[in-house]
Amino acid sequence: MSDLTLPASAPVPQPQDVVRAIKRLFKFDGKTLDDPNPSSTPEQVKAFYAPAHPELLTAGIGSPVTDLKAGTSTIEFIKSFGRKG
């Protein structure tokens, strides 16, 4: 069996050095929608939820807002209803 201890000169990882995965959340019309597939683009997520929320077909996609402490990135789908242009 091999010895898996770190050499004395190796730095010890600190909590701030640990990489955490950022969980994506999607918001639409006051509701939080879970990420159906982390490898999907926001446009694909919008299409995934469109059958349940038809207003998404014409909705825009907002810029992600990242909260590092919470470990989340929130993307809002913005209704086009009532907007000019």
* pLDDT value of residue 18: 67
pTM: 0.71
69-78: b or e for each residue (b if 16 or more CB lie within 10 Å)? eeeebbbbbe
* pLDDT value of residue 25: 97
Query: Residue 47 — φ and ψ, nearest 5°?
Result: -65, -35
Amino acid at 64: P
* All domains in the chain, ordered by first residue: 21-78 (3.10.20)
pLDDT bin (cut points 50, 70, 90) of residue 10 is: low
* pLDDT value of residue 81: 59
Whole-number Cα distances in Å, 80 to 5, 24, 29, 55, 61: 58, 22, 11, 8, 10
- The string of pLDDT tens digits covering residues 33-80 is 999 999 999 999 999 999 999 999 999 999 999 999 999 999 999 998
pLDDT bin (cut points 50, 70, 90) of residue 21 is: confident
